[in-house]
Amino acid sequence: MPRYVLTRLVTAIITTLSVATIVFGAMRLVPGGFAGAFLGPAAGRSPQVVAAIEAKYGLDKPIVVQYGLWLRNAVQGDLGQSLRTRSSVTSEIVRRSILTIELTLLATLMSLVIGIPAGVIAALRRNSVADMLTRAVSLIGLSIPDFVLGTILIYVVSTRHLGLPVSGFIPAGEDLVGHLRSLVLPTLTLGLITTSVVMRVIRSSVVDVLGEAYVVTARAKGLHPRVVALRHVVRAGLIPTVTIVGINMGYLLGGAVIVEELFSLPGLGRYALTGILNRDYPVAQGTVIVGALMFVFANLAADIAYAYLDPRIKY
Amino acid sequence: MAASDGVGARGAAPALPPDETVRDASPTRGTVPAGAPLPLAGQRDRRRPSSLRRFVRESPLGVISALFLLAAIVTALLGPLLGTGDPEALSAAAMFSPPSSDYLMGGDYLGRSVLARLVSGLRISLALAAVSALLAASVGTFLGLVSGYFGGILDELVMRVTDVLFAFPTILLGLLMAVVLEPGVRGVVLTIVIATIPVFSRVARGPTLAVRATEYTIAARVVGASPARILFRYVLPNVSTPLLVQLAFTLSGALLAEGALSFLGLGVQPPTPSLGSLLRDGKTYMEIAPWTMLFPGLTLALAILAVNLLGDELQSFTDPRLRSR
């Protein structure tokens, strides 16, 4: 087990480094050059100014040296400064990711609380009304894009005056109830797709387990169907949840960009989007790397948890 | 599951589970029941319509989705000929006008016909999705076939690169493309292609490994068939079923990705309509003219639903393990 964890950890670190390298490289392909982006519009772009700025940011050095310096800073947690606000990208990311992580956790919670029971019931009563309903809901849930759902929710809630906030955000420290209320619609929007995925995966996993020999044995030796269902089937059938939660992270991080933009929430996703639309390269670079990093490590955690839960996996 | 998530699972939307890479290696088309005539080249065509007829009989939902998609494609292609009007024509009278007999889906903030723009946007969205899905499918399949068949360093390299590509959720990739290429169509296509290539290469690689070891492949090699011939004549037909299913899920992922990126302002740029950019426009004015937002949104959701449903039905139709369920 420790060996498996170590190998996976090393792979995750290598993946993250490659991602960082790709992002760094991509930023150097930007039209107009990275130095041009630092300098902004053509105004005052005299050769001396360009040279001074390039020297200041180390842009006159060979690209390999630049990469080394940048990587050293990044590893130490310094992702540079925003070109617009001059604030530290790292501290902005840390500050804003709290909201994004909260939103992601709420959506995950929703998917588990609704998805697991629905999936289990659907599998245990296959082809019943409950099963048909679960399958229909999950298929429809998977097919409505989050930005369509969110837009429609905003429209319905605001025109019918349902009293839920459709935009903006109240910090938890100020007013906890208001804070949670401001996250209801974003969570619903973000959580519908993951809930549908959990329903489907749990259903098919429980159906798979139902066919296992040990379940047949448990039944054959006369255990009460409920005992078989709860102790033998559901416990094993829930294992894939771990993987799904890991994979959903990737969707949730992308979805956070959309949901935060839609509901004007000051999270990491919106920071990334404004950074990109404003051509604020250090912000874009930092947020994309941090997003990929979160995804890689969420999956790493899921893999390790999976190996721990399913004794059939060899390390 | 991780092996075959569409564009989706990594960002735009998780793909539909359960769709694992084929686990058993038995060739789906290669086997012939005892006593049956050998499948000569001419007879393959006679078998195809029969499986189509079987699909029609067994999967009414699949047929409905296929017909819906066909209708959407025909509408998108014929667009202007259907008399839906000019998507760019402005009319002060139609500005924010609710749906009426003149403007079936109402007018937008410039007094353009929402219906005309929807038809034209549908064409652009479908074309973008189809082009990127097919591009990703061909490159990804090729990489998967070659790396699975030849193995070694090449295989290792392809797999490591796909690992790294898997680490980018689609939307993040789209953001990156928007920085490097400026927001636009090129970025959308490239995002979908890069995000999906690894999916196809994995779907193709698994069965290739299995088919490579079968006796008929070894026999072909002994007879002197070239790797290209073996890959295309023996391996590809075995992989084509999971690839087809994956293509359906990729199409829905691509529609979703185009919609999401254009909605965020990183994809198709106004005044060009696409389902995503129409929704973005409509969102701004939804309180006074909800139809400008509702019609594109519903069209996109229905198109994705139809593709997903078709993929689902194809999957359970082609995978005997799923049939009984």
**Chain A closest-CA separation from residue B186 CA (Å):** 14
CB A186 within 8 A of CB A256: no
Assess if residue A92 is contained within a domain: no
For position B232, which CATH number holds? Answer: 1.10.3720.10
Long-range contacts of B103-108, Cβ-Cβ distance < 8 Å, separation of 24 or more: B105/B291, B105/B295, B106/B289, B106/B291, B106/B292, B107/B289, B108/B281, B108/B282, B108/B285, B108/B289, B108/B292
Assess if residue B255 is contained within a domain: yes
Q: A139–B178: do the CB atoms touch at under 8 Å?
A: no
Report residue B212: phi and psi, to 5°.
-55, -35
Assess if residue A246 is contained within a domain: yes
Is the per-residue pLDDT at A112 higher than 80? yes
Same domain flag for A59 and A108: no
Specify the DSSP class assigned to residue A88.
B
Assess if residue B25 is contained within a domain: no
A5/B11 Cα distance (integer angstroms): 26
User: Domain residues for A58?
Assistant: 2-75
Count A/B contacts: CB-CB distance under 8 Å.
173
B145/B231 Cα distance (integer angstroms): 7
Q: pLDDT at position B209, please?
A: 87
Q: A155–B304: do the CB atoms touch at under 8 Å?
A: no
Look at chain A and report how many structural domains it folds into.
2
B275/B295 Cα distance (integer angstroms): 9
> B49 preceded by cis ω (within 30°)?
no
Look at chain B and report how many structural domains it folds into.
1
Q: pLDDT tens across A240-286, in order?
A: 888 888 878 778 888 899 999 999 999 999 999 998 888 888 888 89
Assess if residue A83 is contained within a domain: no
Assess if residue B246 is contained within a domain: yes
B141/B199 Cα distance (integer angstroms): 9
Helix-helix angle B291-318:B236-263, to 10 degrees? 160
Assess if residue A32 is contained within a domain: yes
Specify the DSSP class assigned to residue B134.
H
Q: A143–B305: do the CB atoms touch at under 8 Å?
A: yes
Q: pLDDT tens across A10-20, in order?
A: 988 888 888 88
Mean pLDDT of chain B: 79
Same domain flag for A145 and A207: yes
Assess if residue B222 is contained within a domain: yes
Q: What is the mean pLDDT of residues A156-164?
A: 81
Assess if residue A10 is contained within a domain: yes
Q: What is the mean pLDDT of residues A195-217?
A: 89
Is A128 within 8 Å of chain B by CB?
A: no
Same domain flag for A125 and A211: yes
Is the per-residue pLDDT at B13 higher than 60? no
Same domain flag for A252 and A118: yes
Same domain flag for A113 and A231: yes
Chain B residue with Cα closest to A262: B264
Same domain flag for A123 and A64: no
Q: pLDDT at position B232, please?
A: 87
Of A81 and A53, which is predicted with more confidence?
A81
Of B187 and A85, which is predicted with more confidence?
B187
Q: pLDDT at position A237, please?
A: 84
CB A164 within 8 A of CB A185: yes
The vertex-B195 CA angle with B194 and B196, nearest 5°, equals 95
Residue B145 confidence class, pLDDT cut points 50, 70, 90:
very high
Q: What is the mean pLDDT of residues B150-157?
A: 88
Sort residue B111 into left (φ over 0), alpha (ψ -120 to 50) or beta: left
Assess if residue A222 is contained within a domain: yes
Q: Which of B171, B252, B261 to substitute to test the interface with A, most A CBs within 10 Å?
A: B171
Is A27 within 8 Å of chain B by CB?
A: yes
Residues 29-58 of A with CB under 8 A from B: 29-31
Same domain flag for A188 and A51: no
For position A243, which CATH number holds? Answer: 1.10.3720.10
Assess if residue B275 is contained within a domain: yes
User: Domain residues for B178?
Assistant: 59-85+103-323
Range with the largest mean pLDDT of A1-5, A189-193, A304-308, B151-155: A189-193
Residues of B in contact with A260 (CB under 8 A): none
Same domain flag for A163 and A67: no
Same domain flag for A103 and A68: no
Same domain flag for A188 and A293: yes
Of A41, A34, A27, nearest to A61 (Cα)?
A34
Owner of token pair 């130095």? A35
Alpha-carbon Rg of chain B, whole angstroms?
22
Q: pLDDT at position B323, please?
A: 54
Assess if residue B129 is contained within a domain: yes
Q: What percentage of chain A reaches a pLDDT higher than 90? A: 27
Q: What is the pTM of this model?
A: 0.82
Q: pLDDT tens across B49-103, in order?
A: 577 788 888 888 888 988 999 988 888 888 777 767 777 777 777 777 788 777 7
Of A196, A295, A288, nearest to A251 (Cα)?
A295
Assess if residue B21 is contained within a domain: no
> B18 preceded by cis ω (within 30°)?
yes
Residue A43 confidence class, pLDDT cut points 50, 70, 90:
very low
Same domain flag for A126 and A45: no
Same domain flag for A36 and A139: no
Q: In the beta sheet, which residues pair with residue B113? A: B107
Collect all residues with Cβ–Cβ distance below 8 Å to A92 and sequence separation of at least 6. Answer: A82, A271, A283
Q: What percentage of chain B reaches a pLDDT higher than 70? A: 82
Assess if residue A80 is contained within a domain: no
Is A292 within 8 Å of chain B by CB?
A: yes
Residues of A in contact with B13 (CB under 8 A): 142, 145-146, 193, 251
